[in-house]
Amino acid sequence: MHWVLVPAQRESDARAQADALREKGDDVYVVAKGQFKNAISLGVFESAEAANKLAAEKKSEKLSVTLAKFPRNRIGYALAFKVEPIRETEVLQAVEAGFDGEFDFVERNACEGVATSEKNP
């Protein structure tokens, strides 16, 4: 993964610059921790070509940018819905209905570490 960044700076400066970029319509955020703390993320791309294209565009706007490798140690992601136990079935049925039955990639698994009335007398 290729990460396009405005280099790290003081936190207050990074936040001010990120706000200015958002006002121009850019979708950015300030990196909160790690090696690139207080850098401004302009995007993460699978292809080097896409990352280089954005970097060149931003450089033409006189913005200092750099490319970095974005560490990805996961290849799968999950959505976790926090739902009241009584409403769980109702909410899941509503979500499934919204996908017209094309929901075969969803696994419904109860957390085994949580006690339920069915498990405890």
Residue with the larger pLDDT of the pair 85 and 25: 25
- More confident of the two residues 47 and 83: 47
pLDDT attached to residue 37? 92
Enter the CATH code of domain 2-69. 3.30.70
pLDDT at residue 121 in the model: 46
Mean pLDDT taken over the chain: 77
Give the rounded percent of residues in the chain with a pLDDT score beyond 90: 41
**CB-based contact 8:17 (threshold 8 Å):** no
Please, which residues have CB within 8 angstroms of residue 53's CB and are 6 or more apart in sequence?
none
Which residue's structure tokens are 């498990």? 119
In DSSP terms, 41 is beta-bridged to: 5, 29
Give the distance from CA 7 to its chain's centroid: 20
CA 30 from chain centre, in angstroms, equals 13
Residue 13 vs residue 118, higher pLDDT: 13
pLDDT tens, position by position, 57-111: 999 999 999 998 876 655 565 666 665 665 556 666 666 565 555 555 555 555 5
Burial of residue 44 (number of CB atoms within 10 Å: 0-12, 13-18, 19+): middle
